[in-house]
């Protein structure tokens, strides 16, 4: 039983914004995989919904002349994994979203919904942090673009005001060209489980493949919102690939994260995972770049 007061099917982004402003308590629904569960279990009983799911202008992946990749927020996880642009330029994102739920969820769930619910465990979020994604937000006064790190303002909270919609996710060329990446999701079972900890690393090697030229390390569930570890990243830039480098990377990552105890795992386990997964993900990213461990 879904207790919904009414649902409006938007015909354009502008129409959706106007409807949201006219009904200040109305909520956006995209694929509905999060929101319908909250309605079903009573947390959002009697709510009004504005559906953007029919807006094909918000769906799909393209690349512009400058090499900037645009991902529509309504693009489903399965679309992302199988998209040729993603496979060629940012396969790590396809691999990350391929770990969400099961096939049905990956067909209906959208990347925009995944980051807009504000949840730290969202499987797409840490990789979008590692890729320095930029988010386009559209409201009644036009569009603005913000870094994904400014999107999250607390557990379950994003920066969107009523009447604002996430309308695009951008990845610029300098954040993927020459980089390879790896996302590792640690969960208590192999299927249909949210991450106990998720770790995403992208890295770029020196020309002779012996040193780290650049590295981006991001986590989900290592803090109240997804996060990057800038100090850990800085520590190994220009370092030779070596056991010592991996140890420094893992140890510093453990210092920088801020996980909590929950019924799913203790803080101590999550700290250990942060150390271990950062090293494993970096190793895989290096191997993909042709580096030798
Ligand atoms: C059985 C099951 C298993 C799951 N497993 C995983 C998992 O392993 N990993 C994982 O990360 N997630 C998982 N999820 C969560 C879920 O599938 C995702 O978070 C999904 O991406 C949400 O997308 P949606 O389009 O369905 O969002 P919706 O439910 O439609 O919306 C989610 C939230 O985002 C807002 N929103 C949606 N689109 C926009 C937009 N364009 N602009 C502004 N606000 C917007 C909505 O208002 C709502 O607050 C699971 C869910 C289920 C039911």
Provide the sign of the torsion angle of the four alpha carbons 97, 100, 104, 105, taken in this order. negative
Quick one: pLDDT at residue 114?
98
Tell me whether residue 173 is exposed, middle or buried, using C-beta atoms within 10 angstroms of its C-beta: 0 to 12, 13 to 18, 19 or more.
middle
pLDDT tens digit string along 130-162? 999 999 999 999 999 999 999 999 999 999 999
Tell me what pLDDT residue 2 has.
87
**Three-state secondary structure call for residue 137:** strand
The stretches in the chain having pLDDT less than 50 are none
Indicate the angle between helix axes 243-256 and 267-288, nearest 10 degrees. 140
**Distances in Å between the alpha carbon of 205 and those of 46, 149, 210, 246?**
53, 25, 7, 14
Share of the chain above pLDDT 90, in %: 96
Q: Is 235 helix (H, G, I), strand (E, B) or coil?
A: helix
Q: Is 188 in the pocket of ligand 1 (CB under 6 A)?
A: no
114 ligand 1 Cβ < 6 A? yes
Candidate from 2, 20, 28, 185 with most ligand 1 atoms within 8 A of CB, to mutate: 28
pLDDT of residue 193: 87
Segments in the chain forming alpha helices (H): 13-22, 35-40, 77-82, 84-89, 91-97, 103-108, 111-116, 125-130, 230-236, 243-256, 267-288
pTM above 0.95, yes or no: yes
């Amino acid at each position: 039983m879904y207790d919904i007061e009414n649902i409006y099917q938007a015909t354009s982004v502008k129409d959706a914004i106007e409807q949201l402003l006219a009904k200040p308590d109305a909520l956006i629904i995209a694929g509905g995989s999060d929101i319908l569960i909250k309605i079903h279990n009573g947390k959002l009983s009697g709510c009004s919904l504005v559906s953007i799911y029919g807006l094909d202008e918000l769906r799909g992946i393209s690349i512009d002349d400058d090499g900037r990749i645009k991902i529509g927020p309504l693009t489903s996880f399965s679309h992302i994994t199988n998209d040729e642009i993603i496979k060629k330029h940012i396969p790590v994102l396809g691999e990350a979203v391929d770990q969400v739920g099961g096939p049905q969820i990956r067909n209906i769930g959208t990347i925009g919904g995944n980051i807009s619910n504000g949840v730290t465990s969202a499987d797409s979020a840490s990789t979008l942090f590692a890729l320095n994604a930029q988010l386009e937000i559209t409201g009644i006064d036009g569009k603005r673009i913000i870094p994904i790190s400014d999107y999250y303002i607390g557990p379950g909270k994003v920066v969107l005001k009523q009447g604002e919609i996430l309308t695009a996710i951008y990845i610029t060329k300098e954040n993927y060209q020459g980089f390879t990446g790896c996302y590792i999701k640690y969960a208590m079972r192999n299927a249909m489980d949210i991450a106990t900890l998720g770790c995403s690393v992208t890295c770029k090697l020196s020309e002779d493949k012996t040193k780290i030229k650049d590295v981006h390390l991001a986590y989900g569930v290592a803090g109240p919102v997804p996060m990057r570890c800038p100090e850990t990243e800085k520590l190994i830039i220009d370092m030779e690939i070596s056991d010592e480098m991996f140890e420094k990377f893992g140890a510093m990552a453990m210092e920088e994260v801020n996980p909590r105890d929950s019924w799913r795992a203790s803080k101590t386990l999550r700290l250990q995972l942060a150390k271990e997964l950062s090293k494993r993900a970096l190793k895989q990213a290096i191997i993909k770049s042709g580096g030798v461990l």
